[in-house]
Amino acid sequence: MKAYIFDDLEGDQRLPHDSGEQVSVEQLKSIGVLPYPGISLDQVEAIAKERGYKNRDEINVSKEGLGDIYEEKIKGFFREHLHEDEEIRYIKDGRGYFDIREKGDARWIRIAVEPQDLLIVPAGVYHRFTLDSSDFIRALRLFQDEPKWVPHDKSEATDANPFRAQYLQSLKA
């Protein structure tokens, strides 16, 4: 798992877009993002138990896995959005990028994920996701309650979302 500032240059979203400015684990934790690089499924189970994740499913993000809705899903994943639940992903195969807004929302932090990486993205943080140029990732998704994945695209209404407000308050604490 590698984190760095996204270069914001035009071009294929699936390319690394590495500005050369690295982001530390401490910087990620300061915005509520919890990275667990290179861990085993047993370690994932321990984290799931500790954090109260009771349910899970697996997603295959590829042309084969998503079929006719592939292009639509990829575009949707890459729109800036937030969730009202933590987003927890354990990468089983393939590679991709989570882009997370840094404090102040000025720049994107790009987190490159690969097999055996677990990433926890807090509720209320603006983010987006894309595959790398291999166009494939298989991930275990963990949920505290019933599996759901509801994106709230960035807007004035989403800026006022109580989960967004709670997240912003947590940054001040």
Q: Is 152 assigned to a binding site?
A: no
* Rounded Cα gap, residues 157 and 159, in angstroms: 5
DSSP class per residue in 58-118: EEEEEHHHHGGGHHHHHHHHHS-EE-SS-EEEEEEEE-EEEEEEPGGG-SEEEEEE-TT-E
Is 17 assigned to a binding site? no
- Residue 161 DSSP code: -
The annotated binding site is made up of 81, 83, 87, 127
The annotated binding site for Ni(2+) is made up of 81, 83, 87, 127
